Amino acid sequence: MEKILYISLSLEKSNYGGSIVSRSNLKGLKHNTALQIKEIAIVRKIEDIYSYELLADTSKIKTAFNNFRGYAGRLNSRIISEIRNIIIDYKPTIIYLDSSLLGCIAKWCKNEVPQAKVVTFFHNAEYDFEMGRLKTGKLHFLPSLYSSVLAEREAVKYSDIIITLHKNDSERLFELYQRRADFCVPVCIIDEPYLDIIEHDKTIELEKPFTIGFIGTAFYANIQAAEYISQHIATAFNNDTQFIIAGNGFEDYATKLNRPNLKTYGFVESLYDFYENIDVVISPITIGGGMKVKIAEAFKYNRKVIASSFSLIGYEDSLNNSDVCSCSNLKDYLHAINHLRKSREVKSTTRELYKKYYSEKACASYFKDVFK
């Protein structure tokens, strides 16, 4: 039996996309009874649900200082030392690094425990993510760029197996570091089985305004998308078409984004309630990296999707479904909204896409191919 040590910066409870994927991948791996798995979760608050939980500093100043020292993300010398001690004690045969930010661990493993296989999961190309933040004028992220690229380069160099979310990210790694991924495992998220029952019994309330929703944390890529919805898409419709923008941090943008037919909210307590109150998910994101988790989430809740071609990278298996509209310009968005509004009474079929490609069961299948 293989002994896996799953090391992650993203296992804590959160609706952040990376955290959703990390928890789902861990659960997918645990479906494989041939694997014995223990986790190291680097957290901001002890949750007492993982094998090992290492408390990270929450100070932005300390994080920046550690970034300058070459420790990516919320890593520091203490956490690295603790991880090394756990590896020595547990003696895993496979060390699974749930981010290229853990590249320094890959390097150490190849030197100190060369018998262990190192597998690194790339949530995105960190170089692109960090450059995107800097382009918005947030120069205080310069230390993060330095440490992230250093870690990513080490992850590429010292990992035995590299996993990306899709082929585009694999090709991007080759452009940056001259190595492609060995496997692609798309975004998968944990299911709520009750959704099948609800969707089976659900009736579409045609008397309500047609409602389009965008949800995500207020970071640069999502803010840009929200502004596009507010300034260009919502203004093209009357009150018979309503828009909702929601997510942690967006309450600070309500005054700027709100329109007569658009309302902005902050943190969403219940994802079910959010999706229950909208007909369609819109995602006009054009910058960033990785794979857009909220697309898979929309599929899970059986919502039709209107999205930029960029947002749909990694979802190529779903593009032939008529409930998924890929858009390249404003005209495409307006046409897709009008089309789905006219066919509103036709139930969505996107939950079937979720089950086939982006569910916990699908995740387990993808990882069985990795750990044959």
- DSSP letters spanning 25-54: HHHHHHT-TTEEEEEEEEESS--S-SSEEE
CATH superfamily of this structure's domain 2-185: Glycogen Phosphorylase B; (3.40.50.2000)
Place of tokens 């993300």: 73
10-51 per-position pLDDT tens digit: 999 887 889 999 999 999 999 999 999 999 999 999 999 999
Instruction: Judge whether 325 and 339 are in contact, CB under 8 Å.
Output: yes
Q: Encode 234-286 in three state secondary structure.
A: HHHCCCCEEEEEECCCHHHHHHHHCECCEEEECCCCCHHHHHHCCCEEEECCC
Q: How confident is the model at residue 171 (pLDDT cuts 50, 70, 90)?
A: very high
Mean pLDDT lowest among 95-104, 114-123, 187-196:
187-196
User: Mean pLDDT across the stretch 277-283?
Assistant: 96
231-248 per-residue burial string, b: 16 or more CB within 10 A, e: under 16: eebbeebeeebbbbbbbb
Strand pairing class (183-184; 161-164) = parallel
Q: Does the pLDDT value for residue 303 go beyond 80?
A: yes
85-100 per-position pLDDT tens digit: 999 999 999 999 999 9
CA distances from 114 to 81, 88, 92, 110, 121 (A): 18, 12, 11, 5, 19
pLDDT for 202: 65
193-238 per-position pLDDT tens digit: 788 766 655 666 777 899 999 999 999 999 999 999 999 999 999 9
What CA–CA distance (Å, rounded) separates 282 from 173?
28
Place of tokens 């419709």: 237
CATH of domain 194-357: 3.40.50.2000
Q: Where in the chain is the domain with CATH 3.40.50.2000?
A: 2-185, 194-357
pLDDT for 372: 84
Cα-based angle 13, 16, 20 (whole degrees, multiple of 5) = 65
Give percent of the chain above pLDDT 90: 88
pTM for the structure as a whole? 0.93
What CA–CA distance (Å, rounded) separates 95 from 117?
6
